[in-house]
Chains A and B, each alone.
Chain A
Amino acid sequence: DTEVTQTPKHLVMGMTNKKSLKCEQHMGHRAMYWYKQKAKKPPELMFVYSYEKLSINESVPSRFSPECPNSSLLNLHLHALQPEDSALYLCASSQAGQIDTQYFGPGTRLTVL
């Protein structure tokens, strides 16, 4: 099973709200990723977790706060977002190696009003 699940599928939030995105995989992967994809643009890496530790933060604003509670679960906490943060947020996972295929979830479509 090469499935990565993400919830919710769609999220609409105001600029003062706090919300969280959830990503889950049961493939035994030890690396997990968050990407942001704006309309008609390629995905851009935000964060990488390896063995539940944050290994890469691509200078993402602090209004985005990642969390990896265990090896199967990855969260992205959102607070005080801006309308320009509206995008498709994609989660991926892979074996924690340098040459491993990344498997993507279906994404969460976020709209910030």
Chain B
Amino acid sequence: KQEVTQIPAALSVPEGENLVLNCSFTDSAIYNLQWFRQDPGKGLTSLLLIQSSQREQTSGRLNASLDKSSGRSTLYIAASQPGDSATYLCAPGKAAGNKLTFGGGTRVLVKP
């Protein structure tokens, strides 16, 4: 059974600092890994999807890396802004049914 851990559970930084969010998973037989953000009481917004054959994916200030063999992914957010405050969830996906297993999330607070 896939187990996904996100460290740290919570993070508070001043505006402008870079953010580093870590995700580890126990079953490396994945087809992809998605990063999402969730605002309180809201649905999930997809940020990045990395295919298992990729090492890195970038979108604007966001960069996600994937080391499938060691079961790790890292999300980097450059030059953080107060609007980046949210919970960030990683979810590796298995082939059958594109089944995602979510980590517990990292709650981020960016202070102005």
Interface residues of A (CB under 8 A from B): 4, 6, 31, 41-45, 48, 50, 55-56, 88, 90, 92, 94, 97-107, 109
B92-106 CB mask vs A (1 if < 8 Å, else 0) is 010111111111110
Kindly state whether residue B49 has any CB partner on chain A within 8 Å: yes
Q: Are B99 and A48 in contact (CB under 8 A)?
A: yes
Q: Is the interface of A mostly helix, strand, loop or mixed?
A: strand
Q: List 17 A-B contacts (CB under 8 A).
A: A42-B104, A42-B105, A43-B44, A44-B102, A55-B96, A94-B98, A97-B98, A98-B31, A98-B32, A98-B98, A99-B31, A99-B49, A99-B51, A100-B98, A102-B46, A102-B100, A109-B41
- Closest B residue to A100 by CB, please name it: B98
Q: Which of chain A's residues have a CB closer than 8 A to the CB of B99?
A: 45, 48, 56
The proximity string for B residues 72-112 relative to A, scoring 1 for CB distances below 8 Å and 0 otherwise, is 00000000000000000100010111111111110000000
Q: Which of A48, A55, A104 contacts B43 (CB 8 A)?
A: A104
Partner of B32, one of A31, A44, A99, A105: A99
For A92, give the chain B residue with the smallest CB separation. Answer: B44
Task: Provide the residues of chain A in CB contact with B89, threshold 8 Å.
Answer: 42-43
Interface size on B, residues (CB 8 A): 26
A45→B105 CA distance, assembly (Å): 16
Does residue B45 face the partner (Cβ distance < 8 Å to A)? yes
Give the interface centre of A42, A99, A104, A106 by most chain B CB atoms within 10 Å: A42
Say whether B61 faces chain A, with CB atoms less than 8 Å apart.
no
The answer to whether A90 touches B95, judged by C-beta atoms less than 8 angstroms apart, is no
Interface residue B34 (Cβ < 8 Å from any Cβ of A): yes
Give the distance in Å from the alpha carbon of A99 to the alpha carbon of B44 in the complex: 18
Bound complex: CA of A105 vs CA of B36, how far in Å? 13
Q: A-B pairs with the 6 shortest C-beta distances?
A: A42-B102, A104-B44, A48-B97, A106-B43, A56-B97, A104-B43
Closest residue on chain B to residue A94 by CB atoms: B98
- The CA of A104 and the CA of B37, in the complex, are separated in Å by 11
